[in-house]
Structure 1
Amino acid sequence: MTPMGRVTLATRIYAPEPAAAAFRLRALATALVNEGLSVTVLTSRAPLRGGERGEHSSGVDVRRFPVLRDRTGSVRGYVPYLSFDIPLFFRMLVAPRPDVVVVEPPPTTGLAVRLACAIRRVPYVYYAADIWSDASAALAPRFVVRALRALESWVMRGAASVIAVTDGVAERAKELGARGVRLVRNGIDTAVFTPAGSAHPNAPTAPYVVYAGTMSQWQGAEVFVRAMALVREKVPDAVLVYLGQGASWQTIEREARKLPDGGRCVRMLPPVPPAEASAWLRGARAALVSMRPGAGYDMAFPTKILAGLASGAPVLYAGSGVARTVVAQQGLGRTADWDDESVAAEMVTMLEKALDGEERRQLARWVDANASWTARASEAAKIIRGALPEGAR
């Protein structure tokens, strides 16, 4: 099929960068190509460490530009965001004119896209994985939150369509003035995250649990290392593994050093490719997921949950919100309050009993039925096709 419409994806992160959004967008790009569209990705230069280094071809033209990263390699913080957003504005002005642009948060990237699209008279779709102004409310000064909310609302109101990943995000997007809000829930690549195969060769022989993904101040992943002092009283050989990066890394390191064994029961590893992360999860007694209460993310459904389940690991979710409800109601693992004692009690329960092979396959089947990326990306691609001008569909 000859490509008709031209789609540009504007995102600060893209595969092979080891982040859920990066692989979600790669799946979307592939789905758009399968819809018969030509796809260009305007993104940042990927870090050289950790993970795959090759470009994803499959008809997708990935164009990278240098960006400022923090000491963990993440594009996080206002200055790193602007180091991508400002060049993005000019890159969009000089690039071949697309028929539609898809933009990923933060809202500052949305600002660059809305301005460039207004100049070139191109519609855009805003892919709202979360509401940034709500997430900032507990951490930023009030005037910053008000400014961010006004910006986020302005960006959403200018979009031809807004794709929301949860019901809560969809409702908040409507409250902020978005039109054409469509719901496409998060998913995972079940061809990569799978219970089939063996555990990672470097995995502990003792019972272990894994936190795989970003460790930001919103997630509060340090609750698990703090709980380990209590856990080791009941399960002396238990091991806690962190795979990833983020603003909480140093906090977790400090908390690990406070443990009676000096932190030897805690392994902290940099981001790894998805298949390798799945191997770690495959042998774990639990996939750990947390969301700090009151941080504005109660409406979120972290992709870490799906990565664990698809790999056959039950979830231990610490925090509140919609994700806790789903894990509890669907029998996908156990839930805890976001505090040391509650987390430790549930972690001990999961460390003391390993699931058998059929139980792990059952968890993976739930993901196949409810959250396969192939189906999710196809849903999003059809919405984006609908935003194309009549002659380009």
Structure 2
Amino acid sequence: MRIALFTEVFLPKIDGVVTRVVRTLEQLGELGHEVLVFAPGDPPAEYAGHEVVRVRSFSLRFLYPELKVGVPTPAIARRMESFHPHVVHTVNPIWLSAYGVLSAGRRDLPLLASFHTDVPQYTESLRVGWARHPIESWTQFLHNKAEVNLCTSGPMVDRARQVGIERVELWPKAVDTVAYHPATWSGGMRATLTDGHPHAPLVAYVGRMSREKGLDRLVEVMQRLRERVPGARLAMVGSGPYLEDLKKRFDPGHTVFTGYLSGTDLAAAYASADVFAFPSVTETLGLVALESMASGVPVVGARAGGIPFVIDDGGTGFLVDAEDVGGWVDRLTLLLTDTGRRAAMAVAARAEAERHSWRAATEALVGYYEQAVETHWREHRPLNGPFLDRFAKPMPRATD
């Protein structure tokens, strides 16, 4: 199968959406499928054997400097036509992927869209709340052009339907249980994360340092935690537009900011912590929580968004109401001081992670591609009308 994939984010940027896209590309290649990727920024020319088309883009420096906004060009249309995909997949359609939606419609191609980031909700934390309703309407319009819409967690399936998105299905969660493993624990990494105090109790966070992640909540939590667990330390792994602000807020004597880590260093950082703290309320899934669980480290996470879809409260970790500082302190204290409870949760977390492979999730995705193709052509209506007659360039069904 040939798949044209439009994404708003891609390498070298690192986040949960990019991780899912690149792992999916790897699996699609192994399964014998061909993908043509359209991505903004400065992506590699190919990934896992698939061609990546670099799309001209600009940065939203005033709002989110890491985000590159792709600008549609005629070259995209020409490349789409020469590739002649069986299906178009748009990841988080807002701008570049929105062009993918419109391009698929113009060419009468089957369309699948995936909803990874609740952008309308993010507008509040990014202080542009006035844009929430227009973005919500735009998101609904784009997704409802697709034959199939996918979400990566049960709660986000509900959220998508709440904003008016139709034909919604679940794209199963997945995690790399080979790269992320308890065996990657490292004494050297533990020393790094604790600033030379490897025997101190260690709480870790891994992910973007951005305002919408709610990391400010951990400032008071860690202050109060040290009153009950003297010497407790926090490792903040990652980077982002809110990094410098966070450095000013946390106690520098008990907090380490590592910047971005990847590969074996990132795996070691996960496995070398005692517990993972995840206060974000805007997650559609929370892949980092799954990666922590695969590393044998239980998670204390906010009872919001997709996090309850990942954590079995009391089994593989704990769920806490986001603003309940006392609840966070209680759960973190328990896991840092009760080594037996922590060890039992670590085993359960690893076992749960092992149930979710990238191969199984990608095979499910291929099934949804086939569903989108069959639905499109079964319910096919030829493009017609004065507007479409002038601008449409319908392509025949790809059969090879």
Letter in 1 for 2:77: L
Matching residue of 2:52 = 62
CA distance in 2, matches of 1:337, 1:240: 20
Q: Residue 179 of structure 2 is aligned with which of 192, 195, 198? A: 192
Deviation at 1:194, TM superposition (A): 1.3
> Secondary structure of the residue that 1:313 maps to in structure 2?
coil
Letter in 2 for 1:62: V
CA distance in 2, matches of 1:387, 1:381: 10
How do residues 240-255 of structure 1 correspond to structure 2 at under 5 angstroms? Answer: 240-255=234-249
2:90–2:101 contact (8 Å) kept in structure 1: no
Q: Does 1:211 align with 2:205?
A: yes
Question: Which piece of structure 1 moves more, 117-126 or 324-333?
Answer: 324-333
Deviation at 1:36, TM superposition (A): 2.9
Q: Residue 160 of structure 1 is aligned with which of 137, 141, 147? A: 147
1:200–1:279 contact (8 Å) kept in structure 2: no
Q: What is the aligned length?
A: 366
> Secondary structure of the residue that 2:279 maps to in structure 1?
strand
1:221–1:248 contact (8 Å) kept in structure 2: no
How do residues 83-102 of structure 1 correspond to structure 2 at under 5 angstroms? Answer: 84=70, 86-87=71-72, 89-95=73-79, 96=82, 97-102=84-89
The one-character-per-residue Cα deviations of 1:163-213 (angstroms, maximum 9, x if unpaired) are 111223223434545443221132211121111233262323122111001
Instruction: List runs of 5+ in structure 1 lacking aligned partners.
Output: 48-52
The one-character-per-residue Cα deviations of 1:199-229 (angstroms, maximum 9, x if unpaired) are 2623231221110012332220122233222
The one-character-per-residue Cα deviations of 1:248-268 (angstroms, maximum 9, x if unpaired) are 323311212xx3xxx121111
CA distance in 1, matches of 2:126, 2:262: 31
The TM-score with structure 1 as length reference comes to: 0.81
Q: Does 1:334 align with 2:318?
A: yes
CA distance in 2, matches of 1:54, 1:7: 17
Deviation at 1:145, TM superposition (A): 1.6
How do residues 145-184 of structure 1 correspond to structure 2 at under 5 angstroms? Answer: 145-184=132-171
How do residues 211-290 of structure 1 correspond to structure 2 at under 5 angstroms? Answer: 211-256=205-250, 259=251, 263-290=252-279
The TM-score with structure 2 as length reference comes to: 0.80
How do residues 2-41 of structure 1 correspond to structure 2 at under 5 angstroms? Answer: 5-15=1-11, 17-41=13-37
> Secondary structure of the residue that 2:261 maps to in structure 1?
coil
CA distance in 2, matches of 1:267, 1:172: 35
Deviation at 1:120, TM superposition (A): 2.9
1:128–1:165 contact (8 Å) kept in structure 2: yes
1:305–1:315 contact (8 Å) kept in structure 2: yes
CA distance in 2, matches of 1:319, 1:362: 19
For residues 222 and 196 of structure 1, do their structure 2 counterparts lie closer, same or farther at Cα, with a shift above 3 Å needed?
A: same
> Secondary structure of the residue that 1:240 maps to in structure 2?
strand
CA distance in 1, matches of 2:15, 2:352: 22
CA distance in 2, matches of 1:55, 1:358: 42
For residues 94 and 210 of structure 1, do their structure 2 counterparts lie closer, same or farther at Cα, with a shift above 3 Å needed?
A: same
Instruction: List runs of 5+ in structure 2 lacking aligned partners.
Output: 378-396
2:278–2:302 contact (8 Å) kept in structure 1: yes
For residues 173 and 234 of structure 1, do their structure 2 counterparts lie closer, same or farther at Cα, with a shift above 3 Å needed?
A: closer
Q: Residue 305 of structure 1 is aligned with which of 277, 284, 289? A: 289
Aligned Cα root-mean-square deviation (Å) = 3.1
Deviation at 1:351, TM superposition (A): 2.2
Q: Residue 97 of structure 2 is aligned with which of 94, 98, 110? A: 110
